[in-house]
Structure 1
Amino acid sequence: MNVLVWNENRHEKKNPVVSEIYPKGIHGAIANFLQEEHVTVNTATLDEDEHGLTEELLNKTDVLIWWGHIAHDEVQDEIVERVHKRVLDGMGLIVLHSGHFSKIFKKLMGTTCDLKWREADEKERLWVVDPSHPITEGLGEYIELEKEEMYGEHFDIPSPDELVFLSWFEGGEVFRSGAAYQRGKGKVFYFRPGHETYPTYYNQDIQRVIKNAVRWVNNANTPTPVYGNAKPLEAISKK
């Protein structure tokens, strides 16, 4: 399996708190723990040519992981179309944290993907609301994070095909934190945690979810449907 971890990589260059937590970037931290899964992992960032998302690389990618926040508008529409086509063709997509506002996620959802937020040191509990789902394998009833940014409802997304996690925050808000979708041949999973000033991606349970999600969205062996003007099936034509 070929996994590509994409990160805009801007906070790491501007904020010393973020660069201290993630000295190799958020993409580097995620790629590091995914190496344990014996998959081929590459990384790409916004300031590379074509944002690192060349046709050649995307065509070899089974799963794309996306983290963005302050530079969504800088992602070229041409590249968004390229990623969108690959998802419809079967590439898995995992969108993390503030990637909910990325061009690619909004295009796939067809909504604003807006929400409430509050940047504060609040406890978050991500409750497993679908314990039978493969993404929750190896977890308990909930994941607890001592400090995270609050995201609250209403979250303007389509009703998930499968809701996997529901978050509760100390301020009283709840949020649909793990939402799974099918788009064309591709699977899409949105996973909320991961504010840049917290070491969330070092949490073992968060890593477990992302590892599980990589396996779940991988759709490489799904056959391609045939569309257009269809001739009668041979078995039917003989009748």
Structure 2
Amino acid sequence: MRVVVFNENHHERTRPEVRARYPDGIHGLLAPSLAALTPYDVTTATQDQDGYGERVLGADVLVWWGHLRHEEVPRDLVERLRERVLGGMGLVVLHSGIGSRLTRALLGTSCAVRWRHGDDRQLVWTVKPGHPIAAGIPQPLVIEEDEMYGEPFDIPEPDELVFVSGFTGGEVFRSGACYTRGAGRVFLFSPGDQECPVYHLPEVRQVIANAVWWAAPAAPVGPPPRNEQAPVGWWR
């Protein structure tokens, strides 16, 4: 079973304060943790790598972090990834990756959020305690510093809502949402701004590992679909 951690890897290369926090990139922190917490083969891909599209298309579970460069991901790659999710690939979308072209293509909405950049304290409350993604997660999961994401959050009604977050300013947010698309499982998990040390928290990495377990298909996904041009204009 192949897990690929995709990271835009823009901030780590261009901003010294982010590079100091994540010297090996967000992907470089998450991948070893997932390898230790799951039995899967974990590799990484970044948007600045040549051929990253073929790397992410080889995943059985794809973990996706993006922010500023959503629109640079080619439409044909997004369509192939969407078809791969429909065919059984698991997808775990982190933080601002919820606004990616891939997430919008799968959910059919803008995925827009209210947000405030700062050092909000976030309390992540488990609202579905029997769910596998919540296994071993404290109630609440306390994140001392993170960006605020708040409602309204333009997503379809989740198939299952696992986490709801509250912030210093009183805002609330559906921070852990599950979907099934075709044969594939999708999990959105919002904590994790690049300017905050969120992914250094073991409990946050445990949530992501639990989500990878949950999203993993019963058997490896077959070859990627043919590289055909995605229809123009049906998603933004």
TM-score (norm 2): 0.90
SS of corresponding position for 2:209: helix
SS of corresponding position for 1:209: helix
Name 1:13's counterpart in structure 2.
13
Alpha-carbon distance, 1:220 to partner: 3.4
Where does 1:36-185 land on structure 2 (aligned, <5 Å)?
36=36, 37-50=38-51, 52-54=52-54, 57-58=55-56, 60-185=58-183
Unaligned runs of 5+ in 1: 225-239
Contact 1:167-1:175 at 8 Å conserved across structures: yes
Structure 1 Cα separation of the partners of residues 39 and 19 of structure 2: 27
Contact 1:62-1:220 at 8 Å conserved across structures: no
SS of corresponding position for 2:193: coil
Name 1:27's counterpart in structure 2.
27
SS of corresponding position for 2:31: helix
Contact 1:58-1:86 at 8 Å conserved across structures: no
Where does 1:183-202 land on structure 2 (aligned, <5 Å)?
183-202=181-200
Decide which structure has the larger Cα Rg and report it: 1
What is the number of equivalent residue pairs in this alignment?
221
Structure 1 Cα separation of the partners of residues 218 and 50 of structure 2: 26
TM-score (norm 1): 0.89
Structure 2 Cα separation of the partners of residues 100 and 15 of structure 1: 22
Over 3 Å counting, the alpha-carbon distance change for 1:222 and 1:33 in structure 2 is closer
Structure 1 Cα separation of the partners of residues 220 and 53 of structure 2: 23
Contact 2:60-2:220 at 8 Å conserved across structures: no
Q: Deviations over 1:53-75 (max 9, x none)?
A: 21xx4554210000000111111
Name 2:233's counterpart in structure 1.
none
Alpha-carbon distance, 1:39 to partner: 1.8
Name 2:230's counterpart in structure 1.
none
Q: Which has the higher contact order (CA 8 A, sep 6+)?
A: 2
Unaligned runs of 5+ in 2: 223-236
